Structure 1
Amino acid sequence: MIIVYITLIELIMEFTKYQGLGNDFILVDNRHSSTPLLSPDEAVKLCDRHFGIGADGVIFALPGDDQSDYTMRIFNSDGSEPQMCGNGIRCLARFLAKLEGVETVGKSYRIQTLAGIIIPRLEEEGQVKVDMGNPFLLAKEIPTTLTKGEEKVINQFLEVGGQSWSVTCVSMGNPHCITFVENVATIPLETIGPMFEHHSVFPERTNTEFIEVVRSDYLKMRVWERGAGITLACGTGACASVVAGVLTGNCDRLCTVELPGGCLTIEWSEQDNRLYMTGPAEAVFTGVIG
């Protein structure tokens, strides 16, 4: 086990860094308090890859309530707070199992998030399967002003960076704008990503996924995450992209989604309308802040 000592804030606090397909997080045991131990500004400092620990976000494991075992809060690397994070909740599930000393296949948790109750379950070989819940498809639910509030946003045209993009919008508790392209490798993500995120039609900003259809059951994805920028993977984005692919006739309900950090298996169940995401989560190192 690697031990790392960091002095940034007036607090002595243990943490464990986890990654899910290269989407990395600082996990904090916050079970004794319903208030995160760190402020958003402190989280920004810790996420800095040159002067801090380096991460896409800080995740706090807080106490649950009558309906949940635990509560998840997350601060992005820019200090903003998203409603949910798919890769992050897989990491949180493995972190909680480690804290409890019960890393058993089949162990599941009901975790309260700002997007509602999410249920991850430990699988074999370090995999975690997550019941991500139902997608939200109406413009007002995403939210976006691309069309009327009670309408779905499917193959709508959006001008970004001097180009017209055909986009489909989905919320997985957090907003996603998905566009299908011929080759994801050619997308200038560093420049076009922020333009999508801060476009005026997205009042709460948006995550943006660029998707290349390899086969009806295999997608390639690159993502610009709201509040974090370019990341190696986005679990809610992979789920939203499969939903968008089904709605536009681009893919099947069961798909492998290849991201720069690796692959996720995503199923949009026809039986219960819920999204199921399966992928890895791995501890990287443990350290002490203070």
Structure 2
Amino acid sequence: MTLPFTKMHGIGNDFVVIDARQTPFPIDTSRLTAMADRHTGVGFDQLLTLEPAQRTDCAYRYGIWNADGSSAGQCGNGARCVAAWLHRAGAIEAGRQVRLESPAGAVGVCVLDDGVVAIDMGEPDFTPASVPFDAPNQAASYALDVAGETLTIGVVSMGNPHALMEVTDLAAPHIDQLGPRVTRHPRFAEQCNVGFAQVIDASHVKLRVHERGAGWTRACGTGACAAAAVLRLRDRVDERVHVQLPGGELIIAWPGPGHRLWMTGPASFVFEGQWLDD
């Protein structure tokens, strides 16, 4: 049997997109991990399934599956790719905001010019229980003991769990070890995505993200949103900030608590293919 798919990426965060609007796509961990392998498969950070909406206020639904076969609640770069795919298929119009159903809830999307897509990512949730993170009270920062070192982190949910740590040098070697350790820290009950942010000025941030289920990625849309939100809460950045990741740049706009956060960036098509099932 063959399975048609589309390979896409959002500033280097890469995806396999499966059209399951008519025919359901059965989730099988061994199949996902085989496809995700970058040497013997297609290779991807996440697999995205396009499905009929379950909510009446949404046009379509999308599922998110990590390279290790686990599910994810939200993916900003993936949401942009879903919107671009649906636009190319004639399912949604450019310049018109529509709602898509993600595993974490409804999101607004709008396809702009030249492959750029804007996503309404909702309001960041800083309560520890939403992450979930083991802390008695909500705070702008928390002390986290990792391998004998005390780190200062912020935590936030963007529909998935995030930790953020400010650094002065993203090239520092110990960051490579800290990423996996923070991701798997026992105070994060469901693990977390961890971002390392270097603030250049009030409107520019450089960022690296280690994702649960995928490892170090070229880009992480929800990670960029989380970084901007945590830094904005601390008055470290303006309400509109350019976040530079290894794969490219995203623009995050968030006035602050009580407002919804918008992310804008490109979505790119790479190739169409057919996966051969044994």
Using the size of structure 2 for normalisation, the TM-score is 0.95
**DSSP 3-state at the match of 1:75:** strand
2:240 to 254, 258, 265: 254
Task: Give per-residue Cα distances to partners, 1:41-93, cap 9 Å, x unaligned.
Answer: 21111010001001111100000131211111011001111101000010111
The letter of the residue matching 1:237 is G
8 Å contact from structure 1 (residues 43, 57) kept in 2 = no
Alignment of 1:193-208 (within 5 A): 193-208=179-194
**Structure 1 stretches of at least 4 aligned residues deviating more than 6 Å after TM superposition:** none
Residue 9 (structure 2) aligns with: 19
Give the Å deviation of 1:232.
Answer: 0.6
2:60 to 55, 70, 81: 70
Residue 209 (structure 2) aligns with: 223
Residue 4 (structure 1) aligns with: none
2:75 to 59, 81, 85: 85
Unaligned runs of 5+ in 2: none
8 Å contact from structure 2 (residues 7, 15) kept in 1 = yes
**DSSP 3-state at the match of 2:31:** helix
Residue 232 (structure 1) aligns with: 218
Number of positions where the alignment pairs a residue of Structure 1 with one of Structure 2: 275
8 Å contact from structure 2 (residues 232, 256) kept in 1 = no
Residue 34 (structure 2) aligns with: 45
When residues 101 and 173 of structure 1 are mapped into structure 2, their CA distance, relative to the original with a 3 A threshold, is closer
8 Å contact from structure 1 (residues 30, 37) kept in 2 = no
Residue 275 (structure 2) aligns with: 289
The letter of the residue matching 2:250 is L
Task: Give per-residue Cα distances to partners, 1:118-145, cap 9 Å, x unaligned.
Answer: 1111011110000001111111111100
1:100 to 90, 93, 103: 90
8 Å contact from structure 1 (residues 40, 75) kept in 2 = no
Alignment of 1:260-279 (within 5 A): 260-270=246-256, 273-279=259-265
When residues 187 and 250 of structure 1 are mapped into structure 2, their CA distance, relative to the original with a 3 A threshold, is farther
Residue 3 (structure 1) aligns with: none
- Further displaced range: 183-192 or 173-182: 183-192
Determine the C-alpha separation between the residues in 1 that align with 2:3 and 2:27.
10
RMSD value, Cα: 1.5
**DSSP 3-state at the match of 1:185:** coil
Give the Å deviation of 1:228.
Answer: 0.4
The letter of the residue matching 1:69 is A
**DSSP 3-state at the match of 2:179:** helix
Determine the C-alpha separation between the residues in 1 that align with 2:241 and 2:221.
13
1:174 to 149, 153, 160: 160
Residue 118 (structure 1) aligns with: 107
Residue 8 (structure 1) aligns with: none
**DSSP 3-state at the match of 1:17:** strand
Give the Å deviation of 1:108.
Answer: 3.4
